[in-house]
Amino acid sequence: MPEGFIAGEPMSGASFAQCFARCRADNRAALIPFLTCGYPDAPQSLELLQGMAGAGADIIELGIPFSDPLADGPTIQRSSFQALERGMTTEGTLDVLRAFRAGHDTPVVLFSYLNPILRYGVEEFARAAVEAGAQGLLLTDVPAGADPALESRLSAHGLDLIRLIAPTTSPERVAAIARAGAGFLYYISRTGVTGARTRLRRALGREVRAVQGRVGGIPVAVGFGISTPEQAADVAAAAEGVVVGSALIDHCEREGAEGVRDFVAALREAMERDGPDRSL
């Protein structure tokens, strides 16, 4: 346990199914903020996780920092490099999650590239992640079906493998990805890397609804480029979940933990107030 963390009796994280069922009952989409673990440092990461949960996050995506984050734009790359410079590791990420679980049951998806998991040990990582309190894992560089043996070794220990779908994914491939996924699907709102954007693509809502028609009821969350409460509300009108990453880290750089809490609260308020009545 990192210095300054207080160990306690861990809570059991809620399942993704429970989370999305609760959101459906409330007639809203799930809010899923992203944080690079170890940014700005380990104790502040824990503070940010706690603040996001308290401000209304339904699910949290917790990134394991990696030295070559190819799917990430400059903001998340910068946060990852800073976290590594300050000593954050895969094991340290699980320690932060374990400390968060001492007081919160918010479901957590671990976001990673494959190399850190291979270095840790695949089955050792899966067991340790579940023990620390993770409900799911998103591996950006392991497409569904690319390595069935590896995927089975990870999911055998209880981790839901969250799958990515892109605007360029064919309808047949969408259905295959959905069959291989669990928890929810992550629809990438545009091609390219992560990063805040000033506007959403006009076709996004239509694309999300087309994906929903092919995936057999598994929830679809949308991320990449969602930057404002208004955009989150627009996406929430079409999708079951809204992922916000780079814009949140931008707020952390400028305003610290309080700014992050305020931004998450503003996202949640906009989604509750406007989401059901807006459309893309």
Pair 109, 138: CB distance under 8 Å: yes
Strands of the chain, DSSP E: 30-36, 60-63, 108-112, 136-139, 160-161, 163-165, 185-188, 220-223, 241-244
Among the options 58, 72, 151, 250, which is catalytic? Answer: 72
The first and second tokens of residue 38, run together, are 């170890």
Block residue for tokens 């400390």: 99
- End-to-end Cα separation, the chain, in angstroms: 45
Block residue for tokens 């809570």: 11
Among the options 58, 61, 240, 250, which is catalytic? Answer: 61
Residues 6+ apart with CB under 8 A from 224: 188, 189, 190, 192, 194, 195, 243
| Secondary structure of 160-226 as H, E, C letters | EECEEECCCCCHHHHHHHHHHCCCCEEEECCCCCCCCCCCCCCCHHHHHHHHHCCCCCCCEEEECCC
- Confirm whether 61 is a catalytic residue: yes
Give dist(CA 36, CA 164) in Å, integer: 19
The percent helix, strand, coil of the chain (3-state, each to 5) is 50, 15, 40
- Confirm whether 47 is a catalytic residue: no
The first and second tokens of residue 160, run together, are 């839901």
Question: Catalytic residues, which ones?
Answer: 61, 72
